[in-house]
Amino acid sequence: EGEKDQQYVTNVCKIIHFEGQPTDVVRLGRKKDGHPRPLRVTFSSPFDARVFRARFVEHRKADENADDTKGVNADDSKGVHVRTSRNDSEQEKYRKNKDIVRKLNDDAKRADLSNISFSLRDNLAIWKFEKDDEGKWKRTQDWSYAGN
């Protein structure tokens, strides 16, 4: 598993034209049948990590159907999500905010407000989006969650 993961990350680096190489590739959690474990990839500097993430996201946006960065195994249908790492307190805040966003979206749905949506960002902020007259989602800049 370790060698395969290292090879996968190296291959993704080539695909997204990222010259840096990870200093460490580790699976998190315990092995469990049928449950994928997150892969933690460490780079030599925070800058390299940001560049890797930006290039990965850019590659995905360029071709959403690209199979080359979906997952380590052929059966990884859910694919890969790249995010910055979080410490324990940040992860706890992420979980709480995720529940808040779910409740806000459920409340909007119940109120039949299909033109409003809430999103949890990687920086743990909660954003509100509204559909404009053309049906495009736009962030509501002057809105902030009172509990933030």
Query: Is residue 78's pLDDT more than 90?
Result: no
In a domain? residue 78: no
What's the mean pLDDT in 86-102?
93
What's the mean pLDDT in 122-131?
92
Average pLDDT, the chain: 85
Share of the chain above pLDDT 90, in %: 42
Would you say 3 and 10 are in contact if contact means Cβ atoms under 8 Å apart? no
| Same domain, yes or no: 9 and 57 | yes
Number of independent structural domains in the chain: 2
| Same domain, yes or no: 18 and 56 | yes
| Same domain, yes or no: 44 and 7 | yes
Confidence of residue 69 (pLDDT cuts 50, 70, 90): low
Q: How far apart are CA 62 and CA 122, in angstroms?
A: 21
In a domain? residue 147: no
In a domain? residue 104: yes
The residue segments making up the domain with residue 94 are 88-139
Count of alpha carbons within 13 angstroms of residue 35, beta-carbon side: 8
